[in-house]
Amino acid sequence: MFKAILVMGRDPTQFSKPPLDRLIPELLERDVKALDVCNAITHGVELVRYWQKLAQIAVSALEQRPIGEGQRGLGRPGGAAVAPPRITGTEPPESFRSLSSSVAKSWSAARQIQAMSSNLVAPRGGEATGLALPVYIMSTVLVFVMWALVAAIPCQERNGLTTNFQIPRQVGWAQAMIRLQERIAEEWKKKEKKGTAGLLEETQRMEKVALSLMEFADSFEFPAEEELVAAQVGELAEICRKMEEGLGPLEQQIRDVFRRIVKSRREVLDVLDQSAKLSSPVPY
């Protein structure tokens, strides 16, 4: 689709002239950074799946009646495993091996989003009626999708995420996206200081229940709190079920986004290659 927009009724030599000689290389670089974000998000989904499996172990133990010291002993590590790392001080053990473990420890999701958006400027004047506009629109949508994924899914180093990407309010076609960004940013500001794992509803609910289970393990009094614990365990079991159903499709969607970015980038490179051939002088 984007390839069609680039070539339809246009002079191929324009791609070597301002502003496209600057905008298209920036777009290609933005694509590469987006692929890095997709890899980091895939790692985050795998981490959520790891939490879900640990939570399921805790559920299986705490569903047994009557609740004794054995189940209580599993309650705290089970809760700590799925609670925010900044609250519990815990990290996945060395036995956790992510398929996306190639993400460097120094890599920052927030800085990546900032780098993707740092040179993203709305076209002005005559540029606003040319090809610069669809390039800008495509880039803005790409950065917004990556930004929203980083906010939703556990991802490495997200401090200051809400300040790293802002869509200009005067852009008419992006009003719905701006409203959605404002809602996400508002939720993120509420949760960021608490060390949230992300804005995904199931992870937030899991965090809440996990912290309650940790408190239960520290101060459980039988039988007064058994019904309360049973309700929380039931809620955690429901969260695990929803995660079991939803994580696979989510992971598939992220893979689809990754492939589409690769395909789009390849199409743009093909157009640039054709442009270079057409603009080259014919030898005599």
Give the Cβ contact number of residue 96 at 10 Å. 11
- pLDDT at position 276 over 90: no
The region of weakest confidence among 42-51, 73-82, 140-149, 254-263 is 73-82
Whose tokens are 């309700």? That residue is 231
Question: Is the separation of the CB atoms in 216 and 67 below 8 Å?
Answer: no
- 183, 137, 176: which is closest to 162 by C-alpha? 183
- pLDDT over threshold 80, residue 189: yes
Task: Report yes or no on 94 lying in a domain.
Answer: yes
Question: Among 109-118, 171-180, 263-272, which is the least confidently predicted range?
Answer: 263-272
Q: What is the pTM of this model?
A: 0.86
Instruction: Return the structure tokens found at 100.
Output: 């996306």
What tokens does 180 get? 């959605």
Length of the chain: 284
Is residue 113 a part of any domain in this protein? yes
What one-character DSSP code corresponds to residue 283?
P
Instruction: Look at residues 190, 233, 254 and name the one whose alpha carbon lies nearest to residue 82.
Output: 233
Residue range 95-154, pLDDT digits in tens: 555 544 567 888 999 999 999 999 999 998 888 888 899 999 999 999 999 999 999 999
Structure tokens at 137: 């629109």
- Answer yes or no: is 82 within a domain: yes
Please give the angle made by the CA atoms of 142, 146 and 6, to the nearest 5 degrees: 15
Q: Which residues contact 207 (CB under 8 A, 6 or more apart)?
A: 82, 83, 84, 196, 197
pLDDT at 166: 86
Average pLDDT over every residue of 240-265: 95
pLDDT at 191 over 50: yes
Q: Which domain holds residue 244?
A: 2-279
User: Of the candidates 39, 17, 15, which has an alpha carbon nearest to the alpha carbon of residue 272?
Assistant: 15
> Is 132 domain-assigned?
yes
Residue 284 counted as domain residue: no
Whole-number Å distance between alpha carbons of 104 and 102:
6
Mean pLDDT, residues 25-46:
96
Residue 149 domain-assigned (yes or no): yes
Look at the chain and report how many structural domains it folds into: 1
Q: What is the pLDDT of residue 207?
A: 85
* Within a domain: 161: yes
Residue type, 144: F
pLDDT computed for residue 193 by the predictor = 64
148 lies in some domain:
yes
Judge whether 254 and 149 are in contact, CB under 8 Å.
yes
